[in-house]
Amino acid sequence: MNNPNDFHFTPTSISTSLVNVPFFEDATADYAPYYTSRNHGVTEEKAKSQVLTELAKLGAGSILFEDGYFGTSDQKRYGYRLRFMYGGAHGMIRVAGLPIKNEHTNKKIEAIKVQALLNVRDWLKSTVTSMVFAPNTDILISHLLVSPDSDITIADHIRSQGNIPQLTSGAKNE
């Protein structure tokens, strides 16, 4: 019989998964669903309402959609900053639509924003479900702001530090 201490994993290659964001015009349903939502009668207001419903199920309140874009003037990604309150703390979720290659019409921009909202709605729906099957799951915590007057979420802060702060046991050294 093998010694359990000899049975360790040695990676032969390190692969990192990097998400490649397609242009709106190149999106396919398997990678970026809902690119034809507007053709099926889903308006921006209806998509916002559905996002509000799911956030409320998670316990978020005072929800505000800040309309705008992410990126630079060369590479705009239209969308929102969703501001909310959760457990007495301020939070924010970034909702960025796919970038556009050409023809920045209001109709296309709205289609992009609806697509982004519906994908976030689905993510929030799955979060509600995960709370049913994985008790104490609390995805909104990572979206809370480190201070009410900043745009830095807890997840942003951890990512910028390059590690997760180590918690102590709470026992005081004597």
Number of independent structural domains in the chain: 1
SS3 for 84?
strand
Whether 85 maps to a domain, the answer reads yes
Residue 75 DSSP code: S
Integer Cα distance of 91 and 79 in angstroms: 17
Whether 67 maps to a domain, the answer reads yes
Please count the other Cβ atoms lying within 10 Å of the Cβ belonging to residue 65: 17
Looking at residue 71, its amino acid is G
Whether 14 maps to a domain, the answer reads no
For residue 90, what are the β-bridge partners? Answer: 85
Whether 110 maps to a domain, the answer reads yes
Whether 156 maps to a domain, the answer reads yes
52 phi, psi to nearest 5 deg: -60, -45
Whether 16 maps to a domain, the answer reads no
Whether 170 maps to a domain, the answer reads no
Whether 13 maps to a domain, the answer reads no
Full domain range(s) for residue 56 = 22-161
Integer Cα distance of 119 and 7 in angstroms: 42
Q: What is the reported pTM?
A: 0.79
In order along its 174 residues, the chain shows pLDDT tens digits of: 555 555 656 666 666 666 778 888 887 777 778 766 555 688 999 999 999 999 999 999 999 999 999 987 778 899 999 999 999 999 999 999 999 887 778 989 999 999 999 999 999 999 999 888 988 889 999 999 988 888 999 999 888 887 666 655 555 554
Q: Does residue 48 contact residue 66 with C-beta atoms inside 8 Å?
A: no
